Amino acid sequence: ESRSAMAVSAVHLESDAFLVCMNHALSTEKEEVMGLCIGEVSWLSRASLQTQSWPHSTFIHVVGLVWTRQVDTNRIVHIHSVIILRRSDKRKDRVEISPEQLHRLAEMTGRPMRVVGWYHSHPHITVWPSHVDVRTQAMYQMMDQGFVGLIFSCFIEDKNTKTGRVLYTCFQSVQAQKGSEYERIEIPIHVVPHEAIGKVCLESAVELPRILCQEEQDTYRRIHSLTHLDPITKIHNGSVFTKNLCSQMSAVSGPLLQWLEDRLEQNKQSISELQKEKERLLQELAAL
Amino acid sequence: MTDLHTTVRISGIVLGSLMFQHFNSDSDVEGFILGESKAEERSNITDSQMNQVQYEHTVHIQKHISCQKLSSFYNGVGEVKWAEIKHILAGDKKENVLGWYRQRRNTEQRMTFREQVVHRNLQRALSNHELVFLLLTPAKASSIGSTHRLEYSVFRSHGSQYHNIPMVVSNLGMLEQQDYRRSSTSCSSSSYNRAIKKHRSKFFTSDGSLKEVGEVSAMNDTLQAELKMACANVEKSERTLELLSADVAALRKDIAVKRSNQTKTDLHSVSEMPQENMLLCAALRALFPESPLLRTQTLTQQGTPLPEYSCNVDHNIDVPTALPLVLAHQHAREQRWGLGEKGRNWGKRRCTEASHTTQRKRRDILETDSEEAITVSGSETDEELLDSQNINLKQSNSPVF
C-alpha cells in the first residue's frame, strides 16, 4: 500500500465555515478564488485486523484467527473557520497575505488551531482538481502530510433541465512510485452542524468586501501613478474604478449587509421565544 | 410578437445561507423566499420585425425565512393555514413574498404531488399567481462521501403544468472588471485641449487625484464600517442565542429526569401499598359478612382472590349513615324475596345444590345478567367459591397457545 500510515481518514467541515467558503466561491464567476482552512486534527486509533505480517508486531492466535496488534493512526481534520486570501497574479501556488490578514491569521491560530488545508473555487469548471491543483496540493503536503484540499465548483447549469448545480470535493495527492506523476486521492468530507455562527466565521465573511476593495484600490493606484496619461484617460480610469467599486457594493457588500440585518432580526425573534420557553420551563421545574 | 423571458436571481450569501440552514437540520427544511419582482418591456425594431416586444421579468430573491418545523403552514391535505403564514412572516409584508422553498436530500428535482397542491393553495392565499417554488436537492456524488452535489431549480405553474425557470447567482463576474487603460493616444488639437482644460478643475483636485474616486472610496469606507457594526451585533446575538439554547436544553433534561423519577416513585408506592377504598370495604362487609374474599384487592393471574390479602380491618364506618342506599336496597330485596331466617336456610339449601352444580351455574351467571343469578352467586360460601375456582383452574376455558 502506497499511502502512509499518517493518512487523513476524513474531514469535518463546520457548517458556518462552509457558509464563508461558499459565499466566497459564489462571489465571482470570472476567476478562481482561494483561501486557507483553519482548524485542528484529532487522531483515530484502531487495531487493524490484517493477515499480513509486519516486522514490529506480535502474532496472537485466537481460535484459527491471526491478528496483529499493530495500531493504525488516522487523522480526522476538523475545519472550524477559513481565511480569505488575495492571490498574487492569480496563481494558486503563490499566495499573497496582506498584513491585516496575517494579523488575523495570528489571532485565529494558536494551539490547537492551525492551518490545516486550503480551498479554491472552480467557476464553470468540473469539481475535480487539475494537474496544477494536484501538484500544488502535493507541495503543501511536503510541509504537512495531513494538509487537505477543498474545491467548490459553481455556476454550473444544465441547459436542458435549467437546473443549477454546486459541487464540493476534498482531496489529497499521492505519488504511485517515486518520480511518477502525482494523482489525487479522495477524502471523505462531512459538513457538521453548527447552528450558531462563530465569531471568526462572521469576521471572515465581512473580510471579503474589504479585500475586494483593497485589490481594486491597489490596481487603480498603480494605473493612476502612470504620469504620461492624458486627462481624458485619467477620467476614464477613475470611472472604471467607480464602476467596479459600485458593482462590489451592490453585488457583495449590499447583500451581505442585508443578510446580517435579517440574521439579527431572526436571532432577536428566536431569543424572545426562547426566553419565554425558559421562563415556562423554570415554572414547570419549580412545580415538580 | 411578444417574448416573455423570466429569470430568477439570488445572491451568493442567500444561497449559502439556505445550504447552511439545511446542514444544521437532520430532516427536510422549508420556508419562504422574499424579494422583488420587476418586469421590463423592451421594444426591438429590426429589419425583419417592426413590433418585436420583449418582456423581461426578473425575480430577485433577497432573503429567506425558515420554518421552525415541517408542515407548519399547511395540513395533511395541503390546505394552507393563513394564521401560521402570518406568524412566520412576522414583520415582512405579504407583497414581498416571492414564493416558498423546500430542501430535501437524495431526491429528484421534481415537485411532488403534495408540493403542487400546497403551491396552488399558497397562490390563492397570497393572491399571487406568479408565485415560485425553489427546490434544493443535495446528495452524495461519490460513494465514500468525498464529493457532494447540490442541485437547485425554480418552478412556476402554467395552468396545471409546472415549468423550470433558470436561477442565476448574482456575482461580481457578471460585469466587466478590467477596463483600465494603461496608455493613451495624445491629441495635438489646441481646441480639444482648450475644452478639456476649461472643465478640468471639476474632475481633479489640486493634488491631481480624481474627485469622484475620493467620493466613491469614502462611500465604500462608510459601507465597510456599517458591515463591521452589523457583524458585531450579529455576533453578540449568536452568543446570546447559544447560551439560551443551552439553558433551555438543560432545563428540559432536568424536567424529564425529575418526571421519570417521580413516575418511578409513584409506581413503587402503588405496588407496595395499594390504596384501599374503605367505603367499598365497609359496604361489602355489611352486605356480604360471610364473604371476606370479596374484600381482597389482590388476585392471582388466573383471577383467584387471595384470602391472605383480604381486609379484616374495621374501618369504623357507619354504613347506614355513609351509604344509606346500600342497606335500603338490601332491605327491599329481603322483603321481595322473603329472605331472612328463611332466606338464609334457602340459601344454605341452595348452597348444597350449588356445590354440585357450581360449574354450570358460574357459566349461567356469565351468560345471564339477572338479579336472581347475582343473588344465587352471592350466597355461595367462600370455601365453595375457592373450590369452584380450583375446578375452573383445572378445566380452564381460556385459550391455550
Per-residue pLDDT tens for B141-150? 999 999 999 9
Please report which helix (H) or strand (E) contains residue B95, including its range.
none
**Minimum Cα–Cα distance from A189: chain B residue:** B146
Q: How far apart are CA B254 and CA B250, in angstroms?
A: 6
* Helix, strand, coil content of chain A in percent (nearest 5): 40, 30, 25
Mean pLDDT over B227-246 rounds to 96
Please check the confidence at residue B8 and state whether its pLDDT lies above 70: yes
Q: What would the mean pLDDT of B219-240 be, rounded to a whole number? A: 97
Q: Which residue of B has its CA nearest to A163?
A: B153
Mean pLDDT across chain B: 82
Full-model pTM: 0.75
Neighbouring-strand partners of residue B153:
B135
* Residue B118, CA distances (Å) to A20, A131, B109, B130 in order: 33, 48, 17, 14
Question: Does the CB of A44 have a partner CB in chain B at under 8 Å?
Answer: no
Query: What 3-state DSSP class applies to A124?
Result: coil
C-alpha cell at B47: 429589419
pLDDT in tens, B109-123: 999 999 999 999 999
Chain A, chain B: beta-carbon pairs less than 8 Å apart: 285
| Cβ-defined contact of A285 to B175 (cutoff 8 Å) | no
What single string gives the DSSP state of each residue in B15-73? HHHHHHHHHT-SS-EEEEEEEEEEEEEEEE--SS-S-EEEEEEEEEEEEEEE-SSTTSS
Whether A285 sits inside 8 A of B184 (CB atoms) is no
Chain A contact probe: residue of B234, B257, B258, B260 with most A CBs at under 10 A? B234
Distance separating alpha carbons of residues B288 and B379, to the nearest angstrom: 9
Please give the Cα distance from A137 to A132 (Å, whole number): 9
How far, CA to CA in Å, does A43 sit from each of A6, A10, A72, A74, B236? 10, 11, 10, 6, 33
Residues of chain B contacting residue A264, judged by C-beta atoms under 8 Å apart? 230, 233-234, 237
What is the pLDDT, as a whole number, of residue B273? 59
- B190 — pLDDT class (breaks 50, 70, 90): very high
Helix, strand or coil, per DSSP, at residue B401: coil
Does residue B52 surpass a pLDDT of 50? yes
Across the interface, of A170, A253, A270, the residue whose CB is closest to B227 is: A253
C-beta atoms surrounding B261 within 10 Å:
11
Q: What is the pLDDT of residue B386?
A: 56
Cα B202 from chain centre:
64
CB contact at 8 A, A125 and A151: no
Cβ separation of A196 and B238 shorter than 8 Å?
Answer: yes
Residues of chain A in contact with residue B20, where contact means CB-CB under 8 angstroms, are 15-16, 18-19, 22
pLDDT, residue A265, reads 94
Give the integer Cα–Cα distance in Å for B53 and B167.
Answer: 23
User: Cα A264 vs. chain centroid, distance in angstroms?
Assistant: 25
A252 and B240: CB-CB below 8 Å?
A: no
Instruction: Identify the closest residue of chain B to A185 by CA–CA distance.
Output: B146
Q: Do A191 and B23 touch (CB under 8 A)?
A: yes
**Euclidean distance between CA atoms A276 and B315, whole angstroms:** 50
Per-residue confidence (pLDDT) for residue A46, from 0 to 100: 57
Is the N-terminal amide bond of A99 cis, ω within 30° of 0? Answer: no
Greater confidence (B393 vs A241) lies with: A241
Q: Do residues A205 and A256 make contact, with C-beta atoms less than 8 angstroms apart?
A: yes
Task: Give the separation between CA B263 and CA B272, rounded to whole angstroms.
Answer: 14
Task: Pinpoint the alpha helices (H) of B209-299.
Answer: 211-272, 278-287
Residue A224 contacts B where some CB pair is shorter than 8 Å: yes
Sign of the C-alpha dihedral computed for residues A277, A282, A284 and A285 taken in this order:
positive
pLDDT in tens, B96-110: 999 999 999 999 999
Angle between helices B341-367 and B371-378 (to 10 degrees): 120
Chain B: nearest CA to A62, how far in angstroms? 32
Q: pLDDT at residue B382 above 70?
A: no
Alpha carbon distances (Å) from A127 to A46, A85, B141 = 32, 20, 11
- Span B28-45, average pLDDT: 89
**Contact yes or no for A264 and B237 at CB 8 A:** yes
Helices (H), B95-161: 113-125
Question: Reduced to 3 states, what is the DSSP secondary structure of residue A118?
Answer: strand
Cβ atoms A96, A215 nearer than 8 A: no
Q: Residue B364 pLDDT > 80, yes or no?
A: no
Selected residue of B20, B60, B142 to mutate for chain A interface (largest A Cβ count, 10 A): B20
Strand partners, A185: A172
Across the interface, of B15, B212, B228, the residue whose CB is closest to A26 is B15
Distance from CA of A142 to the nearest CA of B (A): 22
The confidence score (pLDDT) of residue B98 equals 95
Chain B residues in contact with A237 by the CB 8 A cut-off are: 180-181
Q: Measured between alpha carbons, how far is B344 from B385 in angstroms, rounded to an integer?
A: 17
Question: Which residue from A155, A162, A220 is facing B169, i.e. has the nearest CB?
Answer: A155
Closest residue in chain B to residue A267, using alpha carbons only: B237
| Residues of chain A scoring pLDDT < 70 | 1-6, 45-73, 87-95
Q: A30: nearest CA in chain B? A: B173
Greater confidence, B124 or A69?
B124
B388 — pLDDT class (breaks 50, 70, 90): low
Task: Verify whether the Cβ–Cβ distance B174 to A23 is below 8 Å.
Answer: no
Q: What is the mean pLDDT of residues B366-373?
A: 43
Q: How confident is the model at residue B33 (pLDDT cuts 50, 70, 90)?
A: very high
Query: How far is the alpha carbon of B307 from chain A, nearest alpha carbon, in Å?
Result: 39
Give pLDDT tens digits for B332-350. Answer: 777 776 554 444 444 444 4
Nearest to B210 among A206, A238, A265 (CB): A238
Tell me if A228 and B171 make a contact (CB, 8 A cut-off). no
Closest CA to A170 of A155, A192, A185: A185
The 10s digit of each residue's pLDDT in B61-70 is 999 999 989 9
